[in-house]
Amino acid sequence: MPSNRYVRLNGIDIHLAEQGEGPLVVLLHGFPETSHSWRHQLEALAAAGYHAVAPDQRGYGASDRPTAIDQYSIFHLVGDVVALIRELGEEQAVVIGHDWGSIVAWNTALLRPAVVRGVVGISVPPIPRGTLPPLTVTEQRFGPDFYQNYFQEPGIADAELNKDVEGALRRIYAGVPAPDPTPGFAGRFLNPETLPAWLPREDLAVFVKQFTKSGFTGGLNYYRNLDHNWQQTAAWQDAPITPPALYISGENDGVRAMYPLDEAARAIVPNLRATVDIPNCGHWTQQENPELVNTALLEFLKGL
């Protein structure tokens, strides 16, 4: 079973779930999730001889939630990962992320390659820095109501999701598009009669309890820094992500259409060791099919 504790990183308290001893593996969750989304990987990695650590990233779960939006920039998020590795007494770690955690993992490997022994992105591939701000691109491609653009106005999506935490999470995790969507983000999905097979009621209850306490603002603030991140990373235009890398995605994950692992994405990851497609799997990859994800992770880790 994982143990839980807090560490002080960059002036805030970060909650960790950790298990095992050995080379350090850091697991970064996405939105809207917490360290609990790595419950299957913590056990498997520990059994294989690794020190697996899953933080609640800043703004999430039991970790601190700075109030200012600019405290959620990509430099703050990468800074937390680097500080965590140092706090745990290591010089390097394998950094694995899912969804927004993938963005943090890829950027940790980009900005601090000497700290990253290997990097794994699950669902979200490396995204090359384009010539236009990201929110301009999403509005042009998907329209002004695209969820990332909808998230920008402080307080709007926050209030929508906080109004019915369990209902919102049920809809988002089930991920079935609504034929007649209602305004907002969760309303784009049907309210499922039964939970997905990968999400037992007791695990949903954990997420509901965590987001009832924390709210969604911290996670939404990651999106509110997208254009700011683009502006601040101009010096890394076309810079390669050099550590050994792995990309894993579910074959039914909608992210594949939004952000494909195309030629441009592959070009910035010259040491991409493998890509793994998880069959009959949607967006919540490591929870939906932990067996295949764990197999891919352990094979990659052994190769390092």
Q: Could you give the angle at which helices 165-174 and 201-214 cross, rounded to 10 degrees?
A: 130
Catalytic residue among 80, 99, 158, 253: 99
Per-residue pLDDT tens digits for 44-99: 999 999 999 999 999 999 999 999 999 999 999 999 999 999 999 999 999 999 99
| Alpha helices (H) in 180-254, listed in sequence order | 201-214, 217-223, 226-232
pLDDT at 262: 96
Tokens of 248: 């894993």
Mean residue pLDDT of the chain comes to 98
pLDDT tens-digit profile, the chain (304 residues): 999 999 999 999 999 999 999 999 999 999 999 999 999 999 999 999 999 999 999 999 999 999 999 999 999 999 999 999 999 999 999 999 999 999 999 999 999 999 999 999 999 999 999 999 999 999 999 999 999 999 999 999 999 999 999 999 999 999 999 999 988 999 999 999 999 999 999 999 999 999 999 999 999 999 999 999 999 999 999 999 999 999 999 999 999 999 999 999 999 999 999 999 999 999 999 999 999 999 999 999 999 9
Tell me the backbone φ, ψ of residue 205, rounded to 5 degrees.
-60, -35
DSSP 71: G
Cα distances (Å, whole numbers) of residue 35 to 15, 117, 184, 211: 9, 21, 26, 12
pLDDT at 161: 98
pLDDT at 234: 98
Instruction: Return d(Cα 251, Cα 45) in angstroms, integer.
Output: 24
Q: What is the CATH number of the domain that holds 292?
A: 3.40.50.1820
Beta-carbon contacts of 191 under 8 Å, excluding residues fewer than 6 positions away, are: 167, 170, 171
Instruction: Return d(Cα 48, Cα 296) in angstroms, integer.
Output: 13
Per-residue pLDDT tens digits for 236-263: 999 999 999 999 999 999 999 999 999 9
Instruction: Return d(Cα 174, Cα 282) in angstroms, integer.
Output: 9
Is residue 283 annotated as part of the catalytic site, yes or no? yes
Cα distances (Å, whole numbers) of residue 273 to 16, 238, 277: 29, 20, 14
State which residues form the domain around 96: 3-302
Is residue 203 annotated as part of the catalytic site, yes or no? no
Tally of domains within the chain = 1
Catalytic residue among 15, 36, 98, 283: 283
Instruction: Return d(Cα 260, Cα 266) in angstroms, integer.
Output: 10
Instruction: Return d(Cα 302, Cα 248) in angstroms, integer.
Output: 16
SS (H, E, C) 1-67: CCEEEEEEECCEEEEEEEECCCCEEEEECCCCCCHHHHHHHHHHHHHCCCEEEEECCCCCCCCCCCC
